[in-house]
Amino acid sequence: MIWVLDASVAVRWFLAQESHPHADLVLERILSQPEKFAVPELFGFEVFAVLCRVHPEGPEVFVEGMVPVLNCGMLRYPMTESLAAGASVYIGEGLTGYDACYAALAEELGGKWLTFDDKAHKAIEKYNVSHLASMDLPDEFIS
């Protein structure tokens, strides 16, 4: 299965007050098996924006810590007509345009969106395209 990584997972790698052991396990898996992960291109911009807003050295942390992850081999997916069409379904369920793109990418790739965003996950839970990382991780992340 391919996992569509949400920015809410990545920011936990860099913010002590947001750290979570599940996020750390995801990072380990990304670095060892990047082919099992994908992100919409907006992912890097979202992580950069959050780090610049809440981390005292946001731009430097992004370049040193996030750019290597972005370049490790995971799929970086552009905005396409089909992704926009798929996202519209999730916008109709109450997701933001950003979150809808993550969900639509997971659907398009036959994977799951891995997020810490409880509200977004609950809004589209019936579609079975998201996984709430704060609750648990699938066995493949732990073994």
Res 141: pLDDT = 79
- Tell me the pTM: 0.94
What kind of fold does domain 3-142 have according to CATH? Answer: Rossmann fold (3.40.50)
Residue-wise pLDDT for 51-98, tens only, equals 999 999 999 999 999 999 999 999 999 999 999 999 999 999 999 999
Length of the chain: 143
Res 143: pLDDT = 63
Residue-wise pLDDT for 89-142, tens only, equals 999 999 999 999 999 999 999 999 999 999 999 999 999 999 999 999 988 877
- In angstroms, the CA 6 to CA 63 distance is 18
